[in-house]
Amino acid sequence: MEAEFVSRAVAAARAVAGQLYLRVDDAVVLQNSNKLALRLLPCDVFARVAPIGQEVAALEVELARRLAATASPVAALAPHVEPRVYERDGFAVTLWTYYEVVAPGPEWPGAYADVLQRLHTGMRGVETTTPHFLDRVAEAELLVTRTDQTPALAQADRHLLLRTLQDARERIRRRGAAEQLLHGEPHPGNLLNTRDGLLFIDFETCCRGPVEFDVAHVPEQVSAHYPDLDQALLAECRRLVLAMVAAWRWDILDEFPDGHRHGRNILTLLRQGPPWPTLGTLAAE
């Protein structure tokens, strides 16, 4: 969000908290992307704020409520206030428990795999309407074909991305794997290492698909601990995720820092061929 939007979003969150008799003397910005993440003090509540219509806040709140009932490893909504989306001055505000983050220990890869498996188990018991993961692939394909939305993408790179997205999609479809509700992007940035254990956040990309699509987002040392995976399917999902992320980096609305360089690095990997690395490996280079 731009500075003016940030100021208005903070004011909206403070106003909502005031209506709920939560004391707010300060609002610390923790993250500023398509949504604003705030720590409200001294009530110590975590607030997520987004322009109305540019979020799926109601789905996130509903999933958080239902997954908590299955003892799934997810961040909790704020206690003592009604669990819903609050609208104020053009913004949607949701309120969550704030967690202090601690450093991961040596058991982190195995623990990560365990909580992801537990999340998938809990999600199998939740019935809700969400997009299919291939709907997101179709959105990436459309982005690549729209030169007005990806004007800086070279024609050869455009063709490579489109071929990769289409080929990986069809190979995945032919595997005929079982599908279920997924997180959509359970990478380390959406996992909190807290004193209460590992907890997943940010369910705005929730979709339906094979568990391998979720596992494709985690580091290799984590996926090695996840049982009973179709390794051929996992490889194709990693390839697909790389191509999708590369497409987003060329979107004229993308705000990822140094996004074009990140996109070019992924294109180089796609040209080199398998084995397909995880996004975390790329980010660490």
Q: Which CATH architecture has domain 3-97?
A: 2-Layer Sandwich (3.30)
Q: Specify the pTM.
A: 0.92
Buried b vs exposed e over 260-277: b needs ≥16 C-beta within 10 Å?
eebbebbbebbeeeeebb
pLDDT of residue 35: 85
Architecture, CATH, for domain 107-281: Alpha-Beta Complex (3.90)
Low-confidence ranges of the chain (pLDDT < 50): 284-285
Q: pLDDT tens digits, residue range 142-173?
A: 999 999 999 999 999 999 999 999 999 999 99
Residue 241 — left, alpha, or beta (φ > 0 → left; ψ -120 to 50 → alpha)? alpha
Looking at residue 183, its pLDDT comes to 97
DSSP state of 77: B
Instruction: Kindly write down the DSSP assignment for every residue of 188-236, as one continuous string.
Output: GGGEEEETTEEEE---TT-EEE-HHHHHTTS-HHHHTTS-S--HHHHHH
Q: How far apart are CA 190 and CA 105, in angstroms?
A: 18
Residues 1-23 pLDDT 10s: 577 789 999 999 999 999 999 99
* The pLDDT of residue 54: 64
Q: Which of 20, 155, 134 minimizes the C-alpha distance to 78? A: 20
Domain boundaries, given as residue ranges, for the chain: 3-97, 107-281
pLDDT of residue 282: 67
C-alpha–C-alpha distance, residues 93 and 50, integer Å: 7
Strand partners, 29: 38
Nearest CA among 79, 33, 72 for reference residue 201: 72
Phi-psi region of 189 (alpha: psi -120 to 50; beta: other; left: phi over 0): alpha
SS3 (DSSP) at 35: coil
pLDDT of residue 115: 97
For residue 76 the two structure tokens come to 């909790």
